[in-house]
């Protein structure tokens, strides 16, 4: 008999998900108008991400639109996607909408119980997910941890019990005092939150129903109130569930309420990218390679302007405890004996071997060789950073991780006070380890297995290690990747997890297969030859190319004596400092509404210059020798602290926005200091970015197109395990473009940029009818003149007043920027140059770059202020709003109106000619 064809997990149907999706799109469905209530958003410390919002909406749909309401549902969501935040929101939802007051959180490991206790019930923890005061309908809601739900329950109280799966089962089947027996589940309605649900399917996988298993226990709990209107509920959460297996799929088919798989999570930018370094190097050589790469990451971070602590962590993964302990010993000796001579010899030896096939390692090697004169200092820093005191061995005799020992240290690796740079471990990254700053995982080959089970464990380890680290850049923390569109090496070192493994074909085939099974997008970190982009020969024959110019505004020198006050750095510093009290660590997106907690402003009369001095003492930037680099007129720290042109500390007053019930005496000294430190950190960013020796003017200079539109080289990011890759809007691909309006033979762009090109192409004929001499789209790629003087000329700089169209004052940004595209139009009367900048709507980064849009619009609104070179009077320059996904800001209609052409919405998308280049390994997509 022929074997039935296996249906892949991503093709399986889940009725609850499908029904909720249909309701979302049904104009007549009551569900479409449902919004996440304010009592959820206003009482959580983090802003719900879009997918978390959708998960709650889907669950609400099942509890209001489907009869009978499902008692048992499953949320299948990627590791690191914030399942516990979702649980916190669902607790509030079930309490308020459906009257549930008793919540049982259960999981199979003690480490997750400890972590979740901090998340849900420990108000003093930095990782507590609720606001300090939970308020619903004007009532203060209390959360109490209990071992047993009380028979007589207090008003306005949510009871949470945290217990292991095993204990829940034991308590049901073995009668003991003060435990939760079946009668407890009969007397009070209980909502069970079961985390890491893939551990609970033992009886299903074996197709048995052993009486004392978890499944038997949960069935008893769910049936305990069959005769009651308010049933017991089970909400399961897992990142790992094998829907490829029919027995698992059939069990959960009607229970899955929301899916957010790992590949979608990664391509939405909420994780690091993942690259494999495949090498035949010995374990000891891999250790040193990882150290050199990790330290180079640190140097790159600070060179790119990352503020605060950036401490990349390495994990060395072994197969056995004895192997791990021995590897730890070898590592300590390696660092202790490291010297400049041996380091140079090692690097030169590695460059001959296959380790040099790694793009990241090659760049690190070149950095150390280029800085050979500083190697003695670098070696000292390596010895200090990787001292045995900064190496954590997370193994105990049982080989478990986090169940015993160094739990606190392992869970605070991101903390500035935690100095650990290395973790040695045998156990996989269990569900209890939420480390974010893990950047290198090194597979110790000694006694390591290479079978399918082993590579699946490795794939799961990689998936867990890829959580995104929200480092601070330009004073802003981002919880999504920043550099997906950046073709420099920023992403390679700041947003990429490297897995160092062996170069053995059969093993690699097995590993890549396991990664594909998880839909985990990874690629080999290998040298990626750039592709040459050429100016079309036909364009070189045109008058536009031969005599035309592109215009950018001129920048003028700024003398040091201009930087004579804090205001010259774009800092609005007044004697009355107004700040918000940050009473919790939170993730907030640019879409977040103002906090719903009622607030007021209070004067903190205890604030004085002592807090300024203490904050300065804690921040390395404010050492005088360093500060002087950016404030050249500064004569002393006393002048900086007390001078009227600077901080003016003796006259400062601090006003804090706080919850309504706060009094001035409730503000602690530590909180005042924290506010002061945060203020000075913001000033640090502006001192650095504001000390620019050039500033924009209203004088525009023309640069010959024949000299500045040149051939250039560009790399394409490569992945080999991504099933969702073709759906990623940020994917960069190669498009060969034959049409003459595009002056290059091909475009290496992401889908947003490609969408812009196709939308402009749809209107080329109308534009040509009006502009009879030239209609061209120039791609102004940063790779064209990277690190050359020409690159600095092809930039726009802020000039004129800093008031935008909305009447708001725009922060000063003296650094220039190069818009990605210029639409060049010319008729017999004048030349029209329109700057266009595509921008993905990626949260805080989008907001931080709005000054660029303001500059583009300022040029359009103030054309009369522009001055040109002598004799030039036939040039017009404008800019547009950012071009966003699906032209969300109507940029193209605005472009047509600006050009004097009637906008007609195309009936269908214009296809560009796309031809695969056989000389590259790049897969060229067909346009959808």
Buried b (16+ CB within 10 A) or exposed e, 708-747: bbeebebbbbbbebbbbbeebebbbbbbebeeebbbbbbb
Residues sharing a CB contact under 8 Å with residue 638, sequence separation 6 or more, in sequence order: none
The percentage of residues in the chain with a pLDDT greater than 70, rounded to a whole number, is 84
- According to DSSP, the β-strands at 712-714 and 531-533 are antiparallel
3-state secondary structure labels for all residues of 605-627: CCCCHHHHHHHHHHCHHHCHHHH
* Rounded distance between C-alpha atoms, residue 67 and residue 550, angstroms: 65
* Homologous superfamily assigned to 9-260: P-loop containing nucleotide triphosphate hydrolases (3.40.50.300)
What does the pLDDT look like over 57-94, one tens digit per residue?
A: 999 999 998 888 999 999 999 888 889 999 999 999 99
Distances (CA, A) of 843 to 466, 571, 742: 20, 23, 31
Contact assessment for residue 883 and residue 838, using Cβ atoms and an 8 Å cutoff: yes
- The sign of the CA dihedral 854, 860, 865, 869 is positive
What's the pLDDT band for 420 if we cut at 50, 70, 90?
Answer: very high
What does the pLDDT look like over 588-647, one tens digit per residue?
A: 332 333 334 577 888 988 899 999 999 998 888 898 988 999 999 999 999 999 999 999
Crossing angle of helices 165-173 and 214-223, in 10° steps, is 60
Please say if the pLDDT value at position 2 is more than 60: no
- HSE of 235, CA atoms in CB hemisphere, 13 A: 29
What's the pLDDT band for 413 if we cut at 50, 70, 90?
Answer: confident
Helices (H), 805-849: 844-848
Task: Pull the structure tokens for residue 597.
Answer: 């907690």
pLDDT for the residue 357: 66
Please say if the pLDDT value at position 28 is more than 50: yes
Task: Pull the structure tokens for residue 920.
Answer: 């590259």
Alpha-carbon dihedral angle through residues 182, 186, 191, 192, given to the nearest 10 degrees = 10
Helices (H), 224-374: 246-252, 262-267, 283-303, 321-336, 340-352, 359-370
Contact assessment for residue 813 and residue 804, using Cβ atoms and an 8 Å cutoff: no
* Rounded distance between C-alpha atoms, residue 413 and residue 749, angstroms: 37
Residues sharing a CB contact under 8 Å with residue 347, sequence separation 6 or more, in sequence order: 292, 365, 368, 369
Look at residues 778, 871, 795 and name the one whose alpha carbon lies nearest to residue 553. 795
Distances (CA, A) of 905 to 133, 261, 760, 892: 51, 35, 11, 10
pLDDT for the residue 487: 66
* Rounded distance between C-alpha atoms, residue 164 and residue 156, angstroms: 27
What are the CB-based long-range contacts (under 8 Å, 24+) for 595-599? 595/42, 596/38, 596/41, 596/42, 597/42, 597/131, 597/133, 597/135, 597/659, 597/660, 598/659, 598/660, 599/657, 599/658, 599/659, 599/660
Alpha-carbon dihedral angle through residues 517, 519, 525, 528, given to the nearest 10 degrees = 120
* Rounded distance between C-alpha atoms, residue 84 and residue 259, angstroms: 15
What does the pLDDT look like over 390-411, one tens digit per residue?
A: 999 887 655 454 454 466 788 7
pLDDT for the residue 151: 92
Look at residues 203, 251, 258 and name the one whose alpha carbon lies nearest to residue 83. 258
**Residue 186: left (phi > 0), alpha (psi -120 to 50), or beta?**
alpha
What does the pLDDT look like over 659-698, one tens digit per residue?
A: 877 787 888 888 899 889 988 988 887 888 778 777 789 9
Contact assessment for residue 206 and residue 167, using Cβ atoms and an 8 Å cutoff: no
* pLDDT top residue among 492 and 549: 549
* Rounded distance between C-alpha atoms, residue 420 and residue 436, angstroms: 13
Contact assessment for residue 116 and residue 84, using Cβ atoms and an 8 Å cutoff: yes
* Rounded distance between C-alpha atoms, residue 741 and residue 748, angstroms: 16
- Within 10 A of 521 (CB to CB), how many other CB atoms are there? 23
What does the pLDDT look like over 332-365, one tens digit per residue?
A: 999 999 999 999 999 988 887 755 567 889 889 9
What's the pLDDT band for 207 if we cut at 50, 70, 90?
Answer: very low
What does the pLDDT look like over 777-816, one tens digit per residue?
A: 999 988 787 656 677 788 998 888 767 777 776 666 666 7
Contact assessment for residue 301 and residue 493, using Cβ atoms and an 8 Å cutoff: yes
Name the most confidently modeled range: 302-306, 451-455, 712-716, 778-782. Answer: 778-782
Kindly state the average pLDDT of the residues 481-485: 80
Kindly state the average pLDDT of the residues 887-901: 94
Q: What are phi and psi of 624, to 5 degrees?
A: -55, -45
* Rounded distance between C-alpha atoms, residue 114 and residue 408, angstroms: 10
* Rounded distance between C-alpha atoms, residue 611 and residue 627, angstroms: 19
Please say if the pLDDT value at position 368 is more than 70: yes
Domain spans in the chain, listed from the N-terminal domain onward: 9-260, 273-524, 531-556+695-715+733-899, 560-680
pLDDT for the residue 590: 28
What does the pLDDT look like over 209-262, one tens digit per residue?
A: 433 477 888 889 999 998 888 999 999 998 877 787 888 888 899 999 999 988
Please state, rounded to an integer, the average pLDDT across all residues of the chain: 83
Please say if the pLDDT value at position 860 is more than 70: yes
Question: What pTM, to 2 d.p., does this model score?
Answer: 0.64
């Amino acid at each position: 008999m022929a074997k039935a064809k296996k249906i892949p997990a991503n093709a399986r149907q889940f009725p609850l998900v499908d029904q909720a999706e249909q309701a979302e799109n049904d104009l007549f469905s009551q569900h479409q108008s449902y919004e996440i209530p304010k009592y959820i958003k206003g009482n959580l410390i983090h802003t719900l991400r879009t997918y978390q919002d959708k998960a709650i909406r889907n669950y609400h749909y099942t509890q209001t639109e489907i009869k009978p309401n499902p008692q048992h549902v499953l949320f299948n969501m990627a590791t690191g996607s914030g399942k516990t935040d979702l649980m916190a929101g669902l607790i509030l939802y079930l309490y308020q909408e459906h009257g549930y007051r008793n919540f049982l959180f259960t999981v199979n490991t003690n480490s997750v119980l400890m972590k979740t206790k901090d998340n849900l019930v420990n108000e003093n923890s930095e990782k507590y997910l609720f606001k300090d005061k939970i308020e619903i309908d004007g009532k203060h809601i209390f959360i109490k941890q209990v071992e047993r739900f009380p028979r007589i329950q207090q008003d306005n109280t949510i009871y949470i019990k945290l217990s292991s799966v095993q204990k829940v089962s034991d308590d049901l089947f073995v009668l003991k005092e003060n435990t939760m027996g079946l009668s407890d589940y009969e007397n009070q309605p209980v909502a069970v939150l079961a985390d890491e649900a893939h551990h609970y399917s033992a009886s299903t996988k074996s197709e048995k129903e052993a009486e004392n298993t978890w499944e038997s226990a949960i069935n008893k709990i769910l049936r305990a109130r069959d005769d009651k209107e308010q049933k017991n509920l089970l909400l399961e959460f897992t990142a790992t569930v094998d829907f490829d297996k029919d027995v698992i799929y059939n069990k959960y088919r009607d229970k899955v309420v929301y899916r957010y798989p790992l590949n979608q999570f990664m391509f939405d930018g909420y994780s690091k990218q993942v690259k494999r370094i495949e090498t035949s190097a010995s374990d000891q050589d891999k250790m040193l390679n990882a150290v050199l790469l990790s330290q180079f990451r640190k140097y790159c971070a600070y060179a790119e302007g990352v503020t605060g602590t950036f401490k990349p962590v390495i994990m060395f993964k072994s197969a056995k405890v004895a192997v791990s302990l021995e590897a730890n010993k070898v590592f300590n000796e390696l660092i202790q004996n490291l010297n400049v001579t041996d380091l140079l010899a090692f690097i030169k030896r590695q460059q001959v071997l296959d380790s040099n096939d790694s793009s990241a390692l090659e760049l690190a090697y070149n950095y150390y060789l280029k800085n050979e004169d500083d190697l003695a200092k670098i070696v000292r820093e390596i010895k200090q950073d990787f001292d045995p005191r900064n190496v954590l061995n997370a193994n105990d005799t049982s080989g478990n991780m986090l169940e015993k020992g160094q739990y606190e240290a392992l869970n605070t690796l991101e903390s500035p006070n935690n100095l650990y740079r290395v973790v040695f471990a045998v156990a996989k990254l269990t569900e209890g380890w939420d480390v974010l700053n893990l950047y290198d995982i090194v597979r110790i080959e000694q006694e390591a297995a290479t079978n399918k089970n082993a590579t699946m464990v490795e794939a799961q380890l990689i998936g867990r290690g890829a959580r995104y680290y929200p480092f601070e850049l330009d004073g802003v923390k981002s919880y999504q990747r920043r550099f997906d569109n950046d073709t420099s090496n920023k992403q390679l070192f700041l947003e990429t997890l490297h897995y160092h493994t062996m170069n053995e074909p059969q093993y690699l085939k097995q590993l890549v297969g396991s990664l594909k099974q998880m839909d985990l997008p990874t690629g080999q970190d290998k040298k990626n030859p750039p592709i040459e982009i050429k100016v079309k020969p036909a364009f070189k024959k045109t008058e536009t190319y031969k005599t035309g110019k592109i215009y950018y505004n001129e920048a003028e020198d700024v003398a040091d004596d201009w930087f004579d006050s804090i205001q010259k750095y774009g800092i609005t510093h007044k004697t009355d400092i107004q700040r918000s009290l940050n009473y919790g660590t939170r993730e907030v997106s640019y879409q977040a509404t103002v906090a719903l907690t009622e607030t007021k402003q209070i004067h903190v009369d205890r604030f004085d210059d002592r807090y300024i001095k203490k904050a300065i003492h804690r921040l390395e930037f404010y050492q005088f020798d360093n500060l002087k680099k950016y404030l050249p007129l500064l004569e002393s720290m006393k002048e900086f602290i007390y001078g009227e042109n600077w901080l003016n500390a003796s006259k400062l007053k601090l006003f804090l926005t706080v919850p309504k019930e706060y009094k001035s005496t409730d503000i602690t000294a530590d909180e005042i200091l924290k506010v002061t430190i945060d203020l000075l950190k913001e000033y640090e960013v502006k001192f650095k970015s504001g000390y620019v020796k050039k500033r924009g003017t209203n004088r525009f200079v023309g640069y010959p197109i024949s000299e500045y539109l040149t051939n250039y080289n560009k790399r394409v990011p490569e992945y080999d395990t991504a099933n969702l890759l073709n759906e990623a809007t940020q994917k960069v691909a190669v498009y060969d473009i034959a049409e003459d309006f595009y002056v290059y033979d091909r475009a290496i762009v992401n889908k947003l940029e490609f969408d812009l090109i196709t939308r402009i192409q749809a209107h080329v004929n109308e534009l040509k009818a009006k502009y009879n001499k030239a209609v061209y789209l120039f791609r102004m790629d940063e790779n064209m003149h990277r690190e050359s003087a020409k690159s600095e000329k092809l930039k726009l700089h802020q000039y004129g007043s800093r008031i935008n169209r909305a009447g708001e004052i725009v922060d000063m940004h003296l650094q220039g920027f190069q818009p990605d595209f210029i639409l060049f139009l010319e008729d017999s009367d004048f030349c029209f140059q329109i700057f266009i900048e595509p921008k993905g709507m990626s949260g805080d980064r989008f907001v931080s770059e709005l000054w660029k849009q303001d500059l583009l619009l300022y040029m359009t609104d103030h054309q009369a202020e522009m001055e040109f070179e002598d004799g030039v009077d036939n040039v017009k320059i404008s800019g547009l709003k950012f071009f966003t996904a699906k032209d969300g800001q109507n940029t193209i209609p605005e472009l047509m109106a600006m050009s004097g052409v009637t906008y007609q919405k195309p009936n269908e998308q214009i296809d560009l000619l796309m031809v695969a280049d056989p000389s590259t390994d790049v897969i060229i997509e067909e346009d959808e």
